[in-house]
Structures are given as structure tokens and as C-alpha cells.
Structure 1
């Protein structure tokens, strides 16, 4: 989630609809300026007993963050507490229960992305060895109840934790117990954004299946392959889902603005603190009728903040965020941006990918999204096939897109090698969660704590 550390007192007040459209319209870039931003979260645990460390215990989350100064990272504070570290590789921040996230820098190619990921993991592993801490690449805590997890001292999280139970039954699980990988990608124009948004939404269930990695809850199989994905189905219907309007004629920046104006607010950031505005209307805020700040109208940074509080399967800000994947190990962190860059950053690949899914009805898209968390690649798709049948075709398109990009490393290799973990999944027909379940019922003898052997 976003990290703020400055006041918005000097921001322009929003006085026109053009200011609401501006972040999205301003995101359009020439293809040579398109970048790749990869974000990944991991679970943090103490090696001695597997408990999730609190913020301020010895060797806890604060100590881990501050220890990153040895690698050149600089602290970001909120209310006197360190909540993130900033450096050349982006921002390392804490999620609500202490999950550690790298929001990577915008990079030109996947070789740089994977090198960035490797540097980050090496750094946290070195710090972790000093504090007796390990890091786990899963989509969800395999053995922790909500009550066993700490809460981090970040203002927006306190507001969200209060609000989540009002709008869904699983929102607290989303905040406290899950981890994801996502990739942020650019577009060249409004029309290009629309096509990428539609293709990304339609194929997001495939990404969810390929990266499904959360089959355990509180020490037992939960009946899902991606329980993390299922959690989003009952988190908050106002700000999640497949966004049917994206596939309607006339969709563009204006329509997304209307959607975001109808997403209830969480907060307003003023003078270094978060003011609770959960459930209130941004439209009222525009009219100076927000009860949390009577008579005040929003500033441009308030709108930027608000754009970060919707959680659909694909999210638009000044770039597109692909949000469907569970957390996982190093090679799958590199594979997710490879999957989406291959599909969306080459025009022929984008056209081919959209052609595969353009005729699906909205009902068929919703059905697929709802069945994938349980069935993975076995989920049925239109035409009497399964998602596994489609997966091979999509990966072939992604591979062709990466080949066409022809971004080579020092050894002369292009970017297609980063798809190999996904090729293996499709060839085997087993997603990561199914492999974990095989081990759970086999060599682990139904002891889920054996998963800690597979930490980073």
C-alpha cells in the first residue's frame, strides 16, 4: 500500500474535472519511455518459534527496517515511527501485520527487475540472519490466526482495520494475512490504456491460477488453491472486482473517474496525520461537504491518495497495476512481470492476447474469476475448454512479445527465460498450491510448519 510522508498543504485545490482526469491522462508515455515496476510482499517470522515479530520487539520490524541503512536506504517516518525505507531500488515498507514489501523502481527491462529483486532478497536475508528472522514467499500465512498477528503503527491502517468489518467478512484477513506480487505498467494513450486494461482484466484469473500459492489457513488445507484471491470476493464490494464497465463501449479516463468518485473514502491526509473519512463520499468532498473536514475542498494529492484505495483486479492510476498474483519465491517474482510485459508491451502480442478473450461475456469473465481460486488451471472457460488449455496459448504469446522486445542482458539472452517457471507449471498442470498440498499430505505428514523450510 502507498506510503505518504509529506503534507499536502501547498497542493492546488481541485476546481475542475480536468484535474481529476489529469493523473491518468498524464500517465500516457511514448513506448520508449515505458517502464516496469514490480512490487512483492513477504511474510516475516522469527526462526526460533515462527511467530510474526511485532514492530518494536528486539529484532522486530522496526529493527529490520532501520538495519537497511547499511545498504544505503533512508528512513521514512510517520508520527515519529519509521514506516518505510527509501533507496535506489524503490521503497521498502511494512504492510498492516508486518509483511515486508518492496515497491521497486521503474526499470527498463526484466533483467534489471530480476537483479533488483535479487539484491533486495539478499539484503533482507543478511539482516534476517542477524536478527534470527526468516522470510516466507506465500500468498497467505499458513498457520496464523488474526489474533496472533501484530499491527503496524501506520495511520491509514488503523482507519482501514476499523472500517473493514463494516463492509465484508474477510477484509481483515486481506490486510493481516495475505501477500501478493504485482507489476505496474505504462500505456501510450487512452486507447492503449483501454485495450491493456481490458486484456489485463480478462486474463487476470489466469495469473491468479498460475501463481496460486495459498492453500492453508490456520494449519490446515482451506479448500482453495488461492485463498488470497477468494478473500477479495468478500472484502469490500465497493472497491474490488472485475469492473464490468471497463468492457463497455466508451470506457476511458472519464469513466474511471466516475467509478472512483463512487468508491467510498478511507481517509484524508493533513499535517502528517490521517483523518478518518471511512465510508464518506469524495463527491461531497468536492462540494465542501465532507463531514470529516467541514467546508474544506480536496487538493490534488487527496485525489491521488483516493486512487490508491480501490482494489480491483486491475487498477488505474498514472499506470496500470496487475493485482491477481499470490506471493511466491524469487523466480516467480521475476515471472509475473515477464508474463504481463510479454503480453502488453508488444502490439502484436497485445492484439493476439485480446483476440483470445474479447468475445467472452461479462458473466463468463465473472464466473472464471470466481472459480479459479478453488480450481486453478482446471477452471472451465468458454468453448468447453479449461484454463490450462488457454494458458499454453497465452504463454506462447507472451514469449513472442518478449522476443520482439529484444532486450538483451550482458550474456546476450533476451527476457523469455523469466517465463520458464510458468512454462513448467502449465506443462505439469499443477499450480504451486497443489505442489504444497502434495507435500502436506505426503512427506510433511500433515504438519504445515514444514513450509518454513522453504523460506527465502
Structure 2
């Protein structure tokens, strides 16, 4: 896609907020299973969830995974626990599991909108990882307020630099390895987003290098899956496995310190290396071993 068409839309993604707010929002995905372990149709889950506290925040991933996208909060982990508990009561025998990879090998594509069919066809040209990612993986995505000025540029950089180390610390599956195999041109699990001091230019080049299978610049940008996604007024951390509640609280604490503590953020920027091989080391478990040594 033409970079000239992409750049103004990318610039909007990097607009950043106007105030130094310190909120966090959680997008939590769950693997869904029937009492007998079978696949549950999305419609059945939606009907069972009707009237729950979580219903306004409920959506689905292509394989039927449930996603709860909660609004920003000062106590996001508490909010998630309350809504998840109420949703589980409503679902009865349908289970929600905060696990990063569905152990079932055969999970159908439940969302068959043209976007998802085109995405699957694109990934199939590369290998089997795309189907596995779409249908069988789940994550905890954390969204953090993005500040104006120099601090905001530091926040973007520190999350990308710290990502491999945080994945090595919190992730306990091969989900990250799946993401690395999906389509490197549209996932950017390397250092390509940090090679230029102009973040908009780097992201535009990244977007232009990914093949387009939906129409329009905004649509194309929505099919990119970097480890940290710019969302205008907030940053979306996408590299974490689906985590249990206690691990979510620890991850939020670490990310808040990196994002909202000026001194700690700048210390981290001085200390963290920029190395395109770190994501692979995290996926292979090598980085975890080094951190433990």
C-alpha cells in the first residue's frame, strides 16, 4: 500500500493524549469449552451471557474465544474479576479458561466475515501458524494512557524495548512462537519499529511493507499485529499470554512503573538493548533462562 496514503492515518494513531492520566484498561481473552470439552457456538455463549455485567464488553475472536474489553479504570484487575465471576455464573456448564493456547487441535473458524476469511487465506499462504493464532490462542492485552510530548515518545519506545523481557517473565506457553511464525511483515516482532527516531515514519514503512487484503488505509492498518499497537490516546500491549488474575496484577504494576514513572522509564531506556533477536530468544525460552541466571 502507498505510504503517502498510509502516513496521515498512521499519524492519527500516534496523536497521543493531551493530559498525563494514569489509567489502565484490560482486554482479556478466554478459551471457551463445553462441559464435555467440545467447541461452543458463539451464538450459544452470547445468549447465555445476555443480561450479565460483562455483556456490554463482550466480543469474540475467530475461533470462538471470548474477549472482555473493559473501559479504563484505576482498579482494572478488580473490575475484571467481578465481571468474569458474574459471567461464569451465567454461562453455567460453559467454561472460560485464561490459557494462552487451546489444547484442542481442531477448532473451527466461527467468525466468517469477509475480513476473517481473507485473513485466513493470507496466512495459509505462509504456513499453519495463522490458523492456530486466529482460532486457538488467547491473550491478556493491557491498554495504557499515552502521554503528550517527550514522555509519550519515551513510552512508545520503552514498551517496545521491554516487550521481550516482559514476555519472558510472564508468558508460559508457545503462543509467542506462533505469533513470530504468522507473518513477520505484519507483526514486527523485531526492531523495525525502533530504527528511526520518527515513530510515524517507522510505522508507516512497516505498514507499507505488509501485503493488503482489505480495502482502505484504516482497514489495512487494522490487520497489523505488532507487539505494541498505537491507538491514538493509548498504547495496547499485545505480547502477553492470557494470564490468571494474580499475574495480571503483577504485569499491570510493572507496566505502570515503566509508563508513568519518569525516572524509572528513563532508567529503563538507558539499560534496555535494542536487538532484533530478543523476541526469538523470548519465544524459545532462552531469554527467560538468562534472566534467571
TM-score range, shorter chain: 0.7 to 0.9
Aligned residues between the structures: 288
Partner SS for 2:48? helix
Q: Distance in 2 between matches of 1:17 and 1:158?
A: 23
Whether the 8 Å contact between 2:194 and 2:202 is mirrored in structure 1 is: no
Whether the 8 Å contact between 1:38 and 1:182 is mirrored in structure 2 is: yes
Q: Which residue of 2 aligns with 1:343?
A: 258
Partner SS for 2:185? coil
Structure of higher CA gyration radius: 1
Q: Distance in 2 between matches of 1:261 and 1:378?
A: 33
Give the superposition deviation at 1:375: 2.0
Alignment gaps of 5+ in structure 2: none
Give the superposition deviation at 1:209: 1.8
Q: Distance in 2 between matches of 1:140 and 1:23?
A: 33
Q: Which residue of 1 aligns with 2:172?
A: 213
Whether the 8 Å contact between 1:170 and 1:235 is mirrored in structure 2 is: yes
Whether the 8 Å contact between 1:97 and 1:176 is mirrored in structure 2 is: yes
Q: Which residue of 2 aligns with 1:197?
A: 156
Q: Which residue of 2 aligns with 1:315?
A: 229
Give the superposition deviation at 1:190: 5.4
Partner SS for 2:276? helix
> Which structure is higher in strand share?
1
State which of 93, 104, 107 in structure 2 corresponds to 1:149.
Answer: 107
The verdict on how the C-alpha distance between 1:307 and 1:341 changes in structure 2, with shifts beyond 3 A counting, is farther
Partner SS for 2:125? helix
Whether the 8 Å contact between 2:13 and 2:231 is mirrored in structure 1 is: yes
Q: Distance in 2 between matches of 1:308 and 1:17?
A: 12
Q: Which residue of 2 aligns with 1:352?
A: 267
Give the superposition deviation at 1:183: 0.9
| 1:374 and 2:278 are equivalent in the alignment | no
Q: Which residue of 2 aligns with 1:330?
A: 245
Q: Which has the higher contact order (CA 8 A, sep 6+)?
A: 2
* Alignment of structure 1 residues 9-158 onto 2, 5 Å: 19-32=8-21, 34-47=22-35, 49-53=36-40, 55=41, 61-71=42-52, 85=55, 87=56, 91-107=57-73, 109=74, 111=75, 113-129=76-92, 132-142=93-103, 144-145=104-105, 148-155=106-113, 156-158=115-117
The verdict on how the C-alpha distance between 1:125 and 1:376 changes in structure 2, with shifts beyond 3 A counting, is farther
Give the superposition deviation at 1:158: 1.8
The verdict on how the C-alpha distance between 1:344 and 1:249 changes in structure 2, with shifts beyond 3 A counting, is same
Partner SS for 2:30? strand
